[in-house]
Structure 1
Amino acid sequence: MVWVKRGAFALVGLLVLAVAVLATWEPFFASAAAPLQGRTYGAEIVRDEWGVPHIYGQTDADTAFGVAIAHAEDDFFTLQDVVAMARGRYGAIAGEDGAKVDYVYHLIDARGTAEREYPKLPQDTRALFEAYAAGLNQYAAEHPEEVKLANLFPVAGVDVAAGFALRQPFFFGLDSVIGPLVANEELRREHGPDIPGFPRPPLPAAEPLGPASASATKQARRLVLPLGEDAEHMGSNAFAVAPQKGGGTTTLVSNSHQPLRGGVAWYELVVESGEGWHFAGANFPGSPFPFLGHNEDLGWTNTVNTPDMIDVYKLELDETGTRYRLDGEWRDLESRWVTLPVKMGPVVLPIRREVLRSVHGPVIRNDKGAFAVRYGGIGRLEQLDAYYRLNKAKSFAEWEAQLARLAIPSTNFIYADKGGTIAYVYNAAIPARPEGVEADWRSVLPGDRSDLIWQGAVDYKALPRIVNPASGWLYNSNNTPFTAAGAGSDLDPQAFSPLLGIELKQTNRSRRAYRLLSEASVLDRATLEAIKYDTGYAREGYVARLFEGLAALKAEGRLAEARDLLLAWDFDADGKGPADAIALLMIRDFMSADYGNKPFPDVAEKLQAAADHLTTHFGRLDPPMADLLRLRQGSIDLPLDGGSDTLRASTTWDVDTDGRLSLKHGDSFIMWIEWAPGQRVVSRSVQPFGAASTRPQSKHYTDQMRLFVDHRLKPVRFWRDDVLAKASVRRTVTNRR
């Protein structure tokens, strides 16, 4: 029996050793970057009364160093997630969901792209990224107790660049192709003829109101949710008004709809340097510069567009599955194995996965075959330089020259400047598909023809663009670019090649904005604010179809009461009507079906779910909408107005245990910029929570929430004299030892 006991002890010892190895292997397996030596950075961080940082440096690089420090002070938690994604280690923090991001990181070769392309960037752009990395390293070294993952720091500029390479394709829907391919689903064209490009495949039905476990297919489709806007609920509004329409003032309104928390939540800042960089706006975690906002002379904002940016090819493999046919010859599939760290409780499991690539691009093999994916901007990284140059542009010509590079793969740009110029550019590095080649670009393409493997993007001049329309205004609400400036100023869709795959869709926000802007005789501040915070629905499109279904619905009892309540609704989510709460619950899923080109939901089923939710949690079908829809952070719990796809956007939410809906995506960072004649630029802004979004102990954790729900904005302290007069914190940061 002694040997049995000894064997048992040995087994226990082996198990303990195995657990210890699994708990510690990943940091040793990962390699940290070797930071550049010998460069000293210094910056001054001045925070205004709202905690928004204004970062000053002698050089642009000094300022970028300060950007990293300031952002880490407010949200090092999220910054670390972004750094882990940029190094293929997110699974060691976020488990299975993080490992899916890591898989995509390897699949699209984000690291390889960064390592190839980063050295080609101009020296001053690389200096910005090296300084930003140094700031992250400095904060991590000074706050080791906050670091989530061993050996995550130090990082170098190329690591930050890899994060850009990972994110950029997902803002035009690469996840909606990769997800179904991984899930063994058919890629099929959209319902209806209104987008003449390769479709976003149908997305899964929206989650039920109650808790439910997600299916494996749904999880596969949502591989990269932390990386970009959720295509199912994407949205943003942008407005520009010329002085002749705005009472003498040029106005730009930025109203991007992003998740309120996480890796693509906006972070507000102002940067200024002795080298002429002076810009106020917002960025995402992991960026040394703002992505939108304004400098002294000009500004811009963005909305997501959905041109045909992606092509999928079905490869013909040989009997070994390791070669594919191209132009009658067999070629080897590039193959490499990667290790994905997957955190499970106290251990991190090493999961091996094969990553494949052909000359087309990344390859996914499933039960239906092998499919290669090629997308606009593949293998490029010039957007890092283009955004930096946009920040420092002083004229419309300088600004547009950067867009004309098509270095930024997608997103609409709405522009305004102090001279009164306003512009809309449908920016997209749309693949230069060859004219006259026999192919159905809306379908899965044959992978054995090299003539279908396009190179580069269409010419900038081929894209929709409007400058100084006669109407005096421009807008976009994720709608077709062919409604942007009003009757007589809009572009003709027939003037653009169908190979561009430009969307022709409208959103409710677009229908409302177009009507309200067209009807206004003057677009002064008050009029434009009323439009931006509009909560109305047009009885058109999916809204009309929903209510036609309700009118035809045969129902009895409580379901009939719910139907009749909705049929009497005033089509305004202002929180004042008795049907606003049930309308809020209903409309999101039908909007989602329209946005994602999914089958239209069953009206009776959705109505029953909404009625059940309200009666279960509120005991009635008609509670005030303000009791249902909430903005929640820490101990602050405030009512909200608006709905999914209203200009005042409360797009999607988490369902809390008390049945309330806690906003998680919709109106986020709002910035209102004005150039009045003879005056320097002024701007106002608001965030849903506050500047210190993950620091509960900070007074800036929740201090903007009341402003946000009350439709109010705070001043942006753009000018140095202004911020110094309101400074709550002023300090110098350096990496000098």
Structure 2
Amino acid sequence: MLKRIGLGLLVLVALLAVAALVWEPLSVTAAAPPPARSYDAQIVRDEFGVPHIYGKTDADAAYGLAYAHAEDDFSTLQEVVAMTRGRTGAMIGADGAKVDYVRALLDVPGTVSRHYAEIPADVRAVLDGYATGLNRYADKHPGEVRLSKLFPVNGQDIAAGFVLRSPFFFGLDGTIGALNDGKDAPRGTAQPMSATDTAALTPYGRDPSMNGSNAFAVSPKKMADGRTWLISNSHQPYEGGVAWYEANVHSEQGLDMAGALFPGSPFVLLGHNRNLGWTNTVNGPDLIDVYKLVLGEDKKSYRYDGKWLPLEQRTVWLPVKFGPFTVPVPKTVYRAVQGPVVVNKNGAFAIRYAAQDSVKNLEQYFRIQKAQDWSQWTQAMSLGGIPATNFIYADKTGRIAFVYNALFPQRAPGFDYRGVLPGDTSRDVWNANIGFAAMPKVVDPASGWVFNANNTPFTTAGPGSELDPKSFSPMLGIERRTTNRITRAIELLSAEKGPITPERLLAIKFDTAYSRASFAGPWIEKLLAADLKSEPDLQRAQALLRTWDWNSDGNAPADALGEAMMHMANRAAYNGEKSPDPRAKLREVVDALMKGFGRIDPPLGDVQRLQRGKVDLPANGGTDTLRAATTWEPQKDGRMRVKHGDSFIMLIAWDKAGKVESRSVQPYGAATTRPDSPHYTDQMKLFEARQFKPVHFERADVLAHAKRTYRP
């Protein structure tokens, strides 16, 4: 009898194991491919493997872009596709399932289904062309496909990726994460803030370094060479779904862009065409409101304007990969009038956020890359689709500009929008955004320059050229943050009373110093004032810090120790929090240096490394310096692998005749996940030497440097 029971259990376990192996793909309905049509794109690879795509139509070019990107990073592109389909958990496990939950909570498929037909036909054609390019690559390389039924994809899948990822850039994932953990939602900023209030600026759970970037635009009247300069210096992870991919895309319909994009994007997101260019930095406006609902006794209804409304709810099954098995995990998602709802131990909280239930960002990205002058570009920016991010602009006429782009909610007065709002009234629920005309802008300032390092729009063009904060309502929720990068940029640019040479401009961009006027000043003071008499080794470290030149250029004995201590305090400084205990952090750093190197004064380049494949180089830059090496990944030997910071850098300049020239560099290379490619690591030495490769923009120049030309 016992043997029969045991055998039965084994059979049951075996059946469950088989079910866990097969249920997820069997539960998936394959998507319909885009409408059938022929595409013709030419891909030209230059000496660094960068793809130059040519097509008769914009859709042809998008098709070629997708295929070229898949050649270099099909693995990451599949993760993006899985994310848009709610299958990330099936591909990468529990962390992916969290993304699938957010997709369901925000009703991303519903948003796309409701509004896809509103996207103009020429934009939808580009989305379909891009999807077809991915499908073509998957068809030709079935052995690389990581999940069954992941392909074909269609234009709606591409649109869903934009809808899902866009609000992450202004912190919606942090709000959802806090509420799901039963914690208070991060406070907004839609009121004047004191210095102690700046903790509201960083979304919950985010590494502050993930919000970095620098950008500079300098007019020809300020440049010694008489050219208009634009420097794009984004800070993104070096790998993954938001790592930059460089491409040049051209069509006979007027598409003519060189720059960079994220996996899953059919558009160049920053760069230049023949006449103008732009780049972006992350900004931090208050674009999210949280409402506490008044639930009925049954917990299935909520009070709203004196009526009881049903709380919408549905169960979604999240696929979660555990080893070879994929297990379905149920999760209930809720929705109210205001938007998605998170229910936790403290109640039910509805969320409303910028660009909610909208797909307009797709058209806006497409139109700005087709714009040929300031008028067309600002007209495209007025579409109101991109919910947040600063734009730094320059063009061949010499115009430079800074635009604090944000879809500011039209909030009614009388409520504290920084906190949790009452959820039983419609008076605090906004239904429209303030338009482009009301966004803070600086155009052609007297200083001759604009910059942004994630700072407030009120410090972007130097003394005498700044916007007046009193001219903008505190209801807009504009941040007032400061960092060392911001402080140093203002100090360095403001000190340039005469024309700036290109060499000096690049020296500013690559600056590795810490200003005593930044968080570094009081932090170092605390470190040097600490009583460490009982700990001789910490005393020695303290004495070494006294010799530090406040510069992480790798040329001084104290650089590794000093930079490590900056690393320890940066998060708190960025969040506006109290700085950590100096003794405890110094102990942590000293112990790590002694364990890894047997000394407290190793060269910074021995500690901080740029590593990939067989290439291992000393990495220069600092946690919060203009030359950024912001996020470290500890290695077993005590060294720190830089995985985030200065990423894609592009120098763009127009001469007096209006001709554009550009140079660029990546931390690794064009073949982002292809270790066997010569372009997997071929830009690393350039990147660390602060040198650049040419961007071949004109077709004749491209063909002169072509290493491979083909049609997918």
The TM-score with structure 1 as length reference comes to 0.94
| Counterpart residue number, 2:259 | 281
Q: Which moved more, 1:516-525 or 1:262-271?
A: 516-525
The aligned residue for residue 678 of structure 1 is 657
In 1, distance between residues paired with 2:261 and 2:53?
A: 14
1:544 paired with 2:545, answer: no
How far apart, CA to CA, are the structure 2 residues paired with 1:232 and 1:37?
Answer: 42
Give the C-alpha shift of residue 329 in structure 1.
1.2
Match of 2:491 in 1: 515
Secondary structure at the counterpart of residue 16 of structure 1: helix
- Deviations 1:678-697 (CA, angstroms, capped at 9, x unpaired): 25211000000000010000
Deviation at 1:176, TM superposition (A): 2.1
Q: Give the letter for the 2:521 counterpart.
A: A
What percentage of aligned pairs have identical amino acids?
A: 52
* CA–CA distance in structure 1, aligned partners of residues 578 and 27 of structure 2: 46
Report the AA paired with residue 92 of structure 1.
Answer: A
Distance apart, 1:140 and its partner CA: 0.7
**Which range is displaced more, 67-76 or 461-470?**
461-470
CA distance, structure 1, for counterparts of residue 589 and residue 197 of structure 2: 35
Deviation by residue 1:569-614 (Cα, 9 ceiling, x = unmatched):
1110100111111122111232111223444211111111000000
1:426 aligned counterpart, secondary structure: strand
Shift of 1:561: 1.3
In structure 1, what is the equivalent of residue 108 of structure 2?
Answer: 110
Residues 89 and 341, structure 1, Cα contact 8 Å, conserved in 2: yes
| Shift of residue 233, structure 1, vs aligned partner | 3.7
Displacement of 1:4: 4.3
Q: What is the alpha-carbon distance in structure 2 between the residues aligned to residue 201 and residue 718 of structure 1?
A: 38
Alpha-carbon distance, 1:299 to partner:
0.2
CA RMSD of aligned residues (A): 1.6
In the aligned structure 1, how far is the partner of 2:97 from the partner of 2:658? 52
- CA deviation map 1:316-355 (0-9, x unaligned): 1111111111112111111111010000011001001000
Say yes or no: does 1:529 pair with 2:530. Answer: no
Which of 550, 555, 575 is residue 571 of structure 1 equivalent to?
Answer: 550
Taking the TM superposition and a 5 Å limit, the aligned residue runs for 1:642-721 are 642-678=621-657, 680-721=659-700
Q: 1:27 aligns with which of 25, 28, 35?
A: 25
Please tell me the residue identity of whatever aligns with 2:356: I
For residues 193-237 of structure 1, the C-alpha deviation after alignment (integer angstroms, 9 at most, x for no partner) is 25989934675xxxxxxxxxxxxxxxxx46xxxxxxx54542000
CA shift at 1:282, angstroms?
0.4
User: Is 2:382 aligned against 1:404?
Assistant: yes
Residue from 601, 611, 616 that aligns with 2:595: 616
SS of 2:625's partner is coil
Q: In structure 2, how many angstroms separate the alpha carbons of the residues matched to 1:6 and 1:187?
A: 55
Summarize the alignment of residues 248-259 of structure 1 with structure 2, pairs less than 5 Å apart: 248-259=226-237
CA contact (8 A) 2:195 2:576 kept: no
Structure 1 gaps of 5+ residues are 204-220, 223-229
Q: 1:242 aligns with which of 219, 233, 255?
A: 219
User: Paired residue for 2:416?
Assistant: 440
Q: 1:232 to 1:402 in 2, by over 3 A?
A: same
Structure 2 counterpart of 1:488, which letter? G
Which residue does the alignment assign to 2:609? 630
Aligned residue identity for 2:664: S
Structure 2, gaps ≥5 residues long = none
User: Aligned runs of 1:488-507 on 2, under 5 Å?
Assistant: 488-507=464-483
Provide the C-alpha distance between the structure 1 equivalents of 2:563 and 2:25, rounded to a whole number of angstroms: 46
> How far has the Cα of 1:178 moved from its partner?
1.3
Superposed displacement of residue 43, structure 1: 0.5
Alpha-carbon distance between aligned partners in 2 of 1:333 and 1:358, rounded to the nearest angstrom: 6
Which residue, out of 363, 367, 372, partners 2:350? 372
2:45 to 22, 44, 47: 47
1:91 to 83, 89, 92: 89
Tell me the SS of whatever aligns to 1:451. coil
1:299 aligns with 2:299: no
CA contact (8 A) 1:640 1:709 kept: yes
Indicate yes or no: 2:37 matched with 1:60: no
Which letter maps to 1:642? Answer: G
Instruction: Please name the residue that 1:386 is paired with.
Output: 364
The equivalent of 1:487 in structure 2 is: 463
2:710 corresponds in structure 1 to 731
Amino acid at match of 1:295: N
CA distance in 2, matches of 1:143, 1:459: 46
CA distance in 1, matches of 2:150, 2:568: 40
Alignment of 1:195-234 (within 5 A): 199-200=200-201, 203=204, 221=205, 230-234=207-211
Partner AA of 1:58 in structure 2: K
Deviations 1:51-80 (A, max 9, x none): 000001111000000010000000001000
Number of positions where the alignment pairs a residue of Structure 1 with one of Structure 2: 705
1:148 and 2:126 matched: no
CA distance in 1, matches of 2:129, 2:456: 39
Q: What secondary structure, in the 3-state scheme, does the structure 2 residue paired with 1:257 have?
A: strand
Counterpart CA distance in 2 for 1:572 and 1:548 is 16
Q: Distance in 2 between matches of 1:604 and 1:6?
A: 65
The alignment partner of 1:544 has SS state of: helix
The whole-number CA distance in structure 1 between the counterparts of 2:16 and 2:223 is 69
Report if aligned partners of 2:199, 2:575 keep a CA contact under 8 Å in 1.
Answer: no
Cα distance in 2 for residues equivalent to 1:9 and 1:81: 40
Q: Secondary structure of the residue that 1:132 maps to in structure 2?
A: helix
When the two structures are superposed, what TM-score results if normalisation uses the length of structure 2?
Answer: 0.97
Aligned equivalents of 2:199, 2:492: Cα separation in 1:
32
Task: Tell me, yes or no, if the aligned pair for 1:177 and 1:201 is still in contact at 8 Å.
Answer: no
Q: CA deviation at 1:190?
A: 8.1
Task: Give the alignment partner of residue 184 of structure 2, picking from 183, 186, 197.
Answer: 186
Offset from partner CA, 1:679-721 (integer Å, 9 cap, x none): 5211000000000010000000000000000000000011110
How far the C-alpha of 1:504 sits from its partner, in A, is 1.3
Q: Indicate the SS of the match to 2:406.
A: coil
Residues 388, 406 of structure 2: 8 Å contact kept? yes
Contact 1:269 1:282 in 2 (8 A): yes
Q: Distance in 2 between matches of 1:190 and 1:537?
A: 29
Question: Post-superposition, which runs of at least 4 consecutive aligned residues in structure 1 deviate over 3 A?
Answer: 3-10, 187-192, 194-198, 200-203, 230-233
Aligned AA for 2:138?
Answer: A
Instruction: Please state how far the C-alpha of 1:563 moved relative to its aligned partner.
Output: 1.8
1:188–1:714: structure 2 CA closer, same or farther, 3 Å change rule?
Answer: closer
Name the CA distance, whole Å, in 1 between partners of 2:679 and 2:501.
31
Shift of 1:540: 2.2
Maintained 8 Å contact 1:653/1:662: yes
Q: Cα distance, 1:8 vs. partner?
A: 3.2
The one-letter amino acid paired with 2:568 is: D
Q: Relative to structure 1, is the Cα distance of residues 188 and 80 closer, same or farther in structure 2, using a 3 angstrom cutoff? A: closer
Superposition pairs for residues 449-488 of structure 1, below 5 Å? Answer: 449-488=425-464
Counterpart of 1:161 in structure 2 is 159
Counterpart check, 1:325 vs 2:303: yes
- 1:18 Cα deviation after fit: 1.3
> What is the rounded CA distance, in whole Å, between the counterparts of 1:447 and 1:421 in structure 2?
46
Please give the per-residue CA displacement for 1:486-508, whole angstroms capped at 9, x wherever unaligned: 11111111111000111111111
Distance 2:566 2:199 in 1: 27
2:553 aligned with 1:555, yes or no? Answer: no
Instruction: Report Cα offsets for 1:639-671 as digits up to 9, x if no partner.
Output: 011111100000011101111110111000000
Preserved contact between residue 188 and residue 286 of structure 2 (Cα < 8 Å): no
Amino acid at match of 1:306: G
